[in-house]
Homo-oligomer: A and B are copies of this chain.
Amino acid sequence: MIIIYGCGQMGQHLARKLGKQELNVTVIDPERLNLESLGPEFKGEMIMGLGIDKDVLKKAHISEAEVFLAVARDINTNIMCALVAKRLFHVPRVIARIEDPTLVELFCKFQIETISPTTAAAGQIERMILGQKG
The contact of A121 among B18, B21, B113, B120, by CB within 8 Å, is B120
The contact of A67 among B14, B18, B119, B129, by CB within 8 Å, is B129
A116 contacts B by Cβ under 8 Å: yes
* Interchain CA distance A71-B21 in the complex, whole Å: 32
A76 contacts B by Cβ under 8 Å: no
Report A99-123 CB contacts with B as 1/0, cut-off 8 Å: 1000000000000010111111111
B120 near A123 with CB under 8 A, answer: yes
> For residue A116, which residues in chain B have a CB less than 8 angstroms away from its CB?
121
Q: Copies of this chain, how many?
A: 2
The contact of A69 among B13, B123, B125, by CB within 8 Å, is B125
A124 near B120 with CB under 8 A, answer: yes
* Interchain CA distance A133-B130 in the complex, whole Å: 29
Q: Which of A1-49 contact B (CB under 8 A)?
A: 2, 9-10, 13-14, 17-18, 21, 23
* Interchain CA distance A126-B17 in the complex, whole Å: 8
* Interchain CA distance A132-B103 in the complex, whole Å: 24
